Every structure is written in C-alpha cells, then in structure tokens.
Amino acid sequence: MSSVTVGVGISRLGQIQIRAHDVERAAAFYENVLGLKLLFKAPPGLAFFDCGGVRLMLDHPAKPEFDHDASILYFSVPDIQGAYGKLKAENVRFEDDPHMIARMPDHDLWMTFFRDSEGNLLALMSEVKRA
C-alpha cells in the first residue's frame, strides 16, 4: 500500500489580480482612498499593494477574456461604521449600508458592499464583539 500525499503544500494566498482599465486611477484609489500600502509599480502598467501579507496586483486586461469584474474581495476592518463613514466622505459608491449578516456565538458579522474606481464590487466586513 503506497502513501498518497494530499495537496501541493499551499500555505496561504500570495497574490490577487484586480482588473483595472486605468491602472493609475485605480492605484490612486487603493492607496489614497482605501489606504493600502503601495509596494511598487512595474511596466507595463502594473501596481502592487500589500493587504495584510497578501499582494494585490492592479493590471490592465491583456486579452478580452481577462476583461471582467474581479472576484469580491472582503476587506476586514475593526470598525465598519467608521470605515463606511470615511469612505462615504471620499465619495465611494456604496451598494448598501453596513448591516449584520450573521449572529455568531461571540460576535456579530457585519458587511457593506462598495465599488472601486474601476467598477469592481468590493466589501468591508467586521466581526463585532457583543458585550
């Protein structure tokens, strides 16, 4: 009987690509509005950001099959109401107000959805501890 190795050793998500028609405009949004740390820019039209150890890459779609909305990224924040207010003040377009999604044993899960400068749907999420 031979032993079978399961998986290939994946330990974490390393990078996510987000489609951007205007990489400079999108980079300004992710850096100045969302407050992510710009790691570097590289030709032709790439921008890389750090998001808690996961690298976000903004890239112009090279082929028509890559020109689609990104998967929904859920950014974790400690204070969803405060983050919502700050982004609203920056004229970020929200799809809804922060709302509770689920009651967990020791916290409530809150979310709100918004659009980036390129029209991609994103979300804020917060695990709010109950007293």
Q: Take residue 18 and report the two structure tokens written for it.
A: 């987000």
| Within a domain: 9 | no
pLDDT at 62: 83
Q: How confident is the model at residue 111 (pLDDT cuts 50, 70, 90)?
A: very high
Q: What is the pLDDT of residue 120?
A: 92
* Digit-coded pLDDT (tens) for 116-126: 999 999 999 99
Angle at 125 between CA 36 and CA 119, to 5 degrees: 60
CA distance 71 to 59: 14
Whether 3 shows a pLDDT value over 70: the answer reads no
Average pLDDT over residues 20-43: 96
Query: Taking a C-beta distance cutoff of 8 angstroms, is the pair 18, 120 a contact?
Result: yes
Residue 15's closest CA among 46, 55, 51? Answer: 55
Same domain, 82 and 128: yes
Q: What mean pLDDT comes out for the span 79-99?
A: 96
Q: Provide the pLDDT confidence category of residue 67 given band limits of 50, 70 and 90.
A: confident
* 117 & 73 share domain: yes
pLDDT-based confidence at residue 130 (cuts at 50, 70, 90): confident
Domain count across the chain? 2
Query: Which pTM value belongs to this model?
Result: 0.83
Query: Is the peptide bond between 43 and the residue preceding it cis, with omega within 30 degrees of 0?
Result: no
86 shares a domain with 112 = yes
Q: What pLDDT score does 12 carry?
A: 82
The CATH number that applies at residue 112 is 3.10.180.10
Q: What is the pLDDT of residue 63?
A: 86
pLDDT at 6 over 60: yes
Residue 82: which domain range?
A: 69-131
